C-alpha cells in the first residue's frame, strides 16, 4: 500500500548514534551509551532498599566479579563477555524474569540480536559459547541471590529456592547501591581494565 509508514525502530543515543533496534549495527554501539543506560536501569523494578536503585551497571560488575571467583583462570575476553551479559538492557530495559516469560520468544530474539551486535563492536564472538553461557547464568543467579536477600526483601529460603545457594569458599559480597554517576564510572572502569590497549 503506497504511503504506508513503518513505526520508528531506532533510538538516538547521547553519543549521537542512531541504534536500529530491529537490525542493530555494531557501528552504532558505544560503550559510553551502554554505561550511561545501564547505570540508569534499576534491577528488581526499583523495588530495593536504599537511597539509590541497584542498577544493571552495578549488577554487571558484580556478575563479572562472581564469574572470576567461580572460575579464576578465565580469559580477559570471557570476563568482558560476563561484564556485557546484560548490555542489551541499556536499550530494552531490565524486565523481570516473570514478565520476560510472559512476553515470549520475540523479545528474546531481539535481545540476542542486540547482544551479538554489542559483542562484535568490541571484538568478541557474536554468540557466547555454551560453557561460558552456563557459567554466566550461574553467576547471574548468585548475584540475584545476594541482591534478593540484601536489597529486595526476600527471605533466604525463598531466595535459595529461586536462585540456588551460594557455594562455599567465595569471597563475601556486601551490596550498597551507588548513585548513578558512580555506577556508570564503575562499569566503565571495569570495561577499560578488561579491554586490550
Among 148, 140, 112, CA closest to 22 = 112
Give the N- to C-terminal CA distance of the chain in Å, as an integer: 52
Range of lowest pLDDT (74-83, 125-134, 145-154, 161-170): 161-170
**pLDDT of res. 182:** 98
The rounded percent of the chain whose pLDDT value lies above 90 is 77
What is the SS3 assignment for 93? Answer: coil
* Pairwise CA distance, residues 3 & 160, whole Å: 55
**pLDDT of res. 53:** 97
H/E segment holding residue 64: helix 56-70
Q: Is the pLDDT of residue 1 over 50?
A: no
User: Mind listing the pLDDT tens digit for each residue in 64-82?
Assistant: 999 999 999 999 999 999 9
**pLDDT of res. 96:** 65
Q: Residue 47 contacts by C-beta under 8 Å, 6 or more apart in sequence?
A: 152, 153
What is the pLDDT of the chain when averaged over all its residues?
Answer: 91
Amino acid at each position: 500500500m503506497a504511503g504506508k509508514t513503518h513505526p520508528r525502530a531506532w533510538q538516538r543515543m547521547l553519543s549521537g548514534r542512531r541504534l536500529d533496534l530491529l537490525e542493530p549495527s555494531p557501528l552504532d554501539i558505544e560503550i559510553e551509551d551502554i554505561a550511561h543506560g545501564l547505570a540508569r536501569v534499576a534491577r528488581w523494578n526499583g523495588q530495593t532498599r536504599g537511597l539509590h536503585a541497584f542498577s544493571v551497571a552495578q549488577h554487571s560488575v558484580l556478575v563479572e566479579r562472581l564469574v572470576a571467583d567461580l572460575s579464576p583462570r578465565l580469559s580477559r575476553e570471557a570476563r568482558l563477555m560476563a561484564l556485557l551479559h546484560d548490555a542489551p538492557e541499556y536499550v530494552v530495559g531490565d524486565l523481570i524474569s516473570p514478565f520476560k516469560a510472559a512476553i515470549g520468544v520475540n523479545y528474546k530474539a531481539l535481545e540476542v540480536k542486540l547482544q551479538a551486535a554489542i559483542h562484535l563492536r568490541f571484538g568478541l564472538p557474536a554468540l557466547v559459547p555454551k560453557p561460558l553461557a552456563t557459567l554466566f547464568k550461574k553467576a547471574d543467579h548468585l548475584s540475584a541471590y545476594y541482591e534478593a536477600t540484601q536489597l529486595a526483601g526476600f527471605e533466604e529460603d525463598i531466595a535459595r529456592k529461586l536462585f540456588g545457594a551460594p557455594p562455599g569458599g567465595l569471597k563475601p559480597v556486601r551490596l550498597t547501591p551507588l548513585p548513578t554517576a558512580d555506577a556508570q564510572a564503575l562499569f566503565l572502569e571495569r570495561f577499560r581494565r578488561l579491554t586490550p590497549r
